[in-house]
C-alpha cells in the first residue's frame, strides 16, 4: 500500500502510558493507517531516528477566541507541539453577539483576559452573530491547529438580557431562552459551556461579568440542557483563594455536576508558599466530586506575572482597586493612585490577602520608561523603598506615577516550588492545563507548558516518566472532552503528531516581548526548543520551527470531531 506519509524509525510514545517502542507511523487521508513496522513507500517520508514521536498535545484551557481572527497558527501554542486547543473558557467570549453589543464583548475580553482594546478593535473580524456562526466562521477562515469550543455563558446572557445581564439574575422566561440558545450551541458542536464566579472577573464598565450574576436556578437549567445533549463538559473558574474550595464553591460544583450528569473541570489548584498543603487538602475534600469524573486543573510552569498599573488585573478582586477599571484614562488612574484615602484602603485590603503576604519583597521593577528611574530596574519594591526612605506601598505607587503608569513590575506569584508542583501535577486526580494561551498577553505566557513539562520535569528532574507525561497531556484531556479520535497513536486515529528531540526539548524560562499583534500590539511569547515536526490531520504544519504554509487545522465537534463544518 502506498501511503501519504511515513514517519520512520522513531521512538513511539503512543499517549496511552504504554512503554515506548521503535517503529514507523504511516499516514493516509489524514489518519494513522499503520504503526510498527511499515512496509512499502509513501509520497513523503520523515526520518525520526533518535527522535520521539508522540500524539499532538491538547491544551484544555485557552483564550484564543479573538486571536484566531488574525493568527490562524494559534501561536504560541502551536510552536510547542500543541495540535488542539479548547477555547471559550471562564464564561467570556465573543459569541453570540449582536452588532450593537460588540463593544461590551470587546471590553469584557479587555478586563477579564487582559487583551488590549486597540488590538481587539483592529483584529476581530465580526463575521458572525450566533454561536454556531462563530464556529463556522473559524472553520471558513482556516486554522493551523484544531480548535474545540466551549459556549461561554456571559454572551448568551447578554444576547437575551442586554446590559441587565451584568446586574441581576434571569427571569424564568429569560432562563428558558438562554438554555435554548445553549442547546443550539451544543447541537452545533460546542463541547459544553463555561462560567466564572471569581470576583476579579470584571467586564464592561467594571461591572461583574454577566455569568457571575446567574442564580443557582439558572445554572441548574443550563446544566440540565447540557445533560440533555448527552455529552460535553462544564468549565468553571471559581476559587476565590488559589487552591481553596469554600463551602459555597463546593456546593456550586456539586450543583453543576449533579444537574448535568457531566464532568466539570474547575480552576484551579495552585501551589502557595503561604499554604503549601492547601491543594492536597482540597483534593481530599473534593473526593466525592472527583469520583463523578470532575477534575481540577493544575499548572506546570510557575506563575510569574508581569504587570503595570494601567492594567491592574492582579488586584482586580480588591474593592479599593475597582475604580481603576471601567475604561479609565491615564489621568484618571493617576489621580486615583495618588489619593491618600485610596492608598489607605488598598493597604488595608492587602493586609488581608495571604497570597500577597510578601508582595514587596518578591515584586521586582522590571522595566521603566523614564530615564530618571533606570537605576532601580530589577530591584525589588522593598529595596527601592529603602533607598527612598518611604513605605514600600508609597514607593510602589509613586514610582508608577513618576513613570506615567508605564513601569512594568514582575512577581513570581504561585507554583514556584518545583518539588510540590511536581507532586501536584503527577496526582492522577488532576488535569494539566491553565495555560491561558491568548490571554493576559502583556503579563505572562504559559502556552509552552508541554515542552516545559518534558524538558524540566521529565528530562532534568525525572519527576515522572516520559510515557506518563505524554499521556497526561494527550489521551487524558482527549478523553475528558470527548475527543474520541485524538490523543493517541493507533490506526484509525487522526494524525495529529509531534516529533521532538528528547535531549533538547524545552521552553524558554522567561518570555520575550514581541510587537506582533494587530496595530503592533505588545505581547509576551515563549519559543520552543527541540520540536522538529508538528503534524495536524496528517499534514506537516511546522518543520524545524518553520511553517510549511499548510493550514490543516479543523473546528472540532463532539461525535464528529474530524469534521471542519
Predicted confidence (pLDDT) per residue in 79-89, tens digit? 999 999 999 99
Name which of 413, 312, 299, 431 is nearest 354 in CA terms.
Answer: 413
Q: What is the pTM (predicted TM-score) of this model?
A: 0.93
Q: Are 123 and 62 in contact (CB under 8 A)?
A: no
pLDDT at residue 206, rounded to an integer: 83
Query: DSSP letters along 259-305, please?
Result: HH-S-EEEEEE--BTTBTTHHHHHHHHTHHHHHTT-EEEE-SS-EEE
Are 114 and 442 spatial neighbours (Cβ–Cβ below 8 Å)? Answer: yes
- pLDDT recorded at residue 70: 98
- DSSP letter (8 states) at residue 84: E
Helix (H, G, I), strand (E, B) or coil at 56: coil
pLDDT of residue 564: 40
* Cell numbers linked to 321: 482597586
Residue in 298, 288, 199 with CA at minimum distance from that of residue 243: 298
What is the pLDDT, as a whole number, of residue 561?
A: 41
Q: What is the pLDDT of residue 327?
A: 64
Percent pLDDT > 70 in the chain is: 98
The answer to whether residues 205 and 327 touch, using CB atoms and an 8 Å cutoff, is yes
User: How much is the pLDDT for 45?
Assistant: 97
What pLDDT is attached to residue 199? Answer: 85
Where do the domains of the chain lie, and which CATH numbers do they carry? Answer: 56-302+415-446 (3.20.20.140), 306-413 (no CATH)
Nine-digit cell string for 426: 503527577
- Contact call for residues 433 and 478 (beta carbons, < 8 A): no
Kind of pairing between the strands at 146-149 and 82-87: parallel
Q: What was the pLDDT predicted at 485?
A: 97
pLDDT of residue 560: 53
- Facing residues of 431 across strands? 297
Q: CA 204 to CA 197: how far, in whole Å?
A: 16
Three-state DSSP class for residue 522: strand
The pLDDT assigned to 240 comes to 79
Pick out the chain residues at pLDDT < 70.
1, 326-327, 559-565
Question: Cell 462563530 sits at which residue?
Answer: 134
**What residues contact 520, with CB distance under 8 A and at least 6 apart?**
none
Q: How many residues does this entry show for the chain? A: 565
> Is residue 251 classed exposed, middle or buried when 0-12, 13-18 and 19+ CB atoms within 10 A define those classes?
exposed
Residue 499: φ, ψ to 5°: -120, 120
pLDDT (0 to 100) of residue 1 = 64
Amino acid at each position: 500500500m502506498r501511503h501519504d506519509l511515513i514517519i520512520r524509525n522513531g521512538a513511539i510514545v503512543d499517549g496511552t502510558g504504554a512503554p515506548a517502542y521503535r517503529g514507523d507511523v504511516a499516514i493516509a487521508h489524514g489518519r494513522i493507517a499503520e504503526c510498527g513496522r511499515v512496509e512499502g513507500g509513501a509520497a513523503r517520508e520523515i526520518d525520526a531516528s533518535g527522535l520521539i514521536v508522540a500524539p499532538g498535545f491538547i491544551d484544555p484551557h485557552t483564550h484564543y477566541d479573538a486571536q484566531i481572527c488574525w493568527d490562524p497558527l494559534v501561536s504560541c501554542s502551536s510552536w510547542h507541539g500543541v495540535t488542539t486547543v479548547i477555547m471559550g473558557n471562564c464564561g467570556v467570549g465573543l459569541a453570540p453577539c449582536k452588532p450593537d453589543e460588540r463593544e461590551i464583548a470587546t471590553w469584557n475580553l479587555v478586563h477579564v483576559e487582559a487583551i488590549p482594546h486597540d488590538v481587539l478593535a483592529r483584529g476581530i473580524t465580526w463575521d458572525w452573530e450566533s454561536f454556531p456562526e462563530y464556529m463556522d466562521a473559524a472553520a471558513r477562515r482556516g486554522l493551523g491547529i484544531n480548535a474545540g469550543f466551549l459556549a461561554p455563558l456571559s454572551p448568551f446572557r447578554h444576547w437575551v438580557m442586554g446590559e441587565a445581564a451584568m446586574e441581576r439574575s434571569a427571569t424564568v422566561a429569560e432562563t428558558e431562552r438562554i438554555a435554548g440558545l445553549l442547546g443550539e450551541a451544543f447541537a452545533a458542536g460546542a463541547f459544553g459551556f463555561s462560567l466564572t464566579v471569581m470576583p476579579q472577573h470584571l467586564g464592561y464598565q467594571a461591572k461583574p461579568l454577566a455569568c457571575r450574576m446567574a442564580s443557582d436556578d439558572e445554572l441548574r437549567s443550563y446544566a440540565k440542557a447540557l445533560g440533555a445533549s448527552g455529552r460535553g463538559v462544564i468549565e468553571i473558574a471559581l476559587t476565590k483563594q488559589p487552591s481553596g474550595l469554600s463551602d459555597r464553591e463546593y456546593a456550586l460544583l456539586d450543583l453543576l455536576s449533579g444537574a448535568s450528569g457531566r464532568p466539570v473541570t474547575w480552576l484551579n489548584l495552585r501551589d502557595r508558599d503561604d499554604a503549601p498543603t492547601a491543594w492536597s487538602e482540597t483534593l481530599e475534600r473534593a473526593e466525592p466530586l472527583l469520583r463523578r469524573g470532575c477534575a481540577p486543573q493544575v499548572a506546570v510552569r510557575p506563575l510569574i506575572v508581569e504587570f503595570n498599573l494601567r492594567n491592574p488585573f492582579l488586584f482586580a478582586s480588591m474593592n479599593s482597586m475597582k475604580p481603576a477599571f471601567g475604561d479609565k484614562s491615564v489621568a484618571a488612574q493617576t489621580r486615583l493612585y495618588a489619593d491618600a484615602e485610596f492608598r489607605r484602603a488598598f493597604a488595608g485590603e492587602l493586609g488581608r490577602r495571604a497570597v500577597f503576604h510578601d508582595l514587596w519583597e518578591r515584586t521586582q521593577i522590571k522595566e521603566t520608561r523614564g530615564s530618571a528611574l533606570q537605576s532601580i530596574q530589577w530591584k525589588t519594591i522593598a529595596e527601592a523603598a529603602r533607598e527612598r526612605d518611604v513605605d514600600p506601598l508609597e514607593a510602589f505607587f509613586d514610582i508608577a506615577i513618576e513613570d506615567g503608569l508605564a513601569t512594568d513590575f514582575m512577581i513570581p506569584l504561585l507554583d514556584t516550588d518545583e518539588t510540590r508542583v511536581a507532586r501536584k501535577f503527577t496526582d492522577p486526580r488532576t488535569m494539566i492545563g491553565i495555560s491561558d494561551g491568548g490571554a493576559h498577553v502583556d503579563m505572562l505566557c504559559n502556552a509552552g507548558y508541554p515542552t516545559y513539562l518534558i524538558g524540566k520535569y521529565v528530562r532534568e528532574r525525572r519527576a515522572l516518566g516520559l510515557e506518563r507525561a505524554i499521556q497526561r497531556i494527550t489521551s487524558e484531556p482527549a478523553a475528558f472532552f470527548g475527543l474520541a479520535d485524538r490523543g493517541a497513536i493507533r490506526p484509525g486515529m487522526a494524525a495529529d503528531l509531534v516529533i521532538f528531540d528528547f535531549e533538547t526539548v524545552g521552553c524558554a524560562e522567561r518570555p520575550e516581548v514581541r510587537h506582533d499583534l494587530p496595530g503592533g500590539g505588545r505581547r509576551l511569547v515563549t519559543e520552543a526548543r527541540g520540536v522538529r515536526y508538528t503534524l495536524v490531520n496528517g499534514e506537516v504544519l511546522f518543520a524545524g520551527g518553520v511553517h510549511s504554509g499548510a493550514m490543516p487545522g479543523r473546528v472540532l465537534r463532539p461525535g464528529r470531531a474530524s469534521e471542519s463544518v
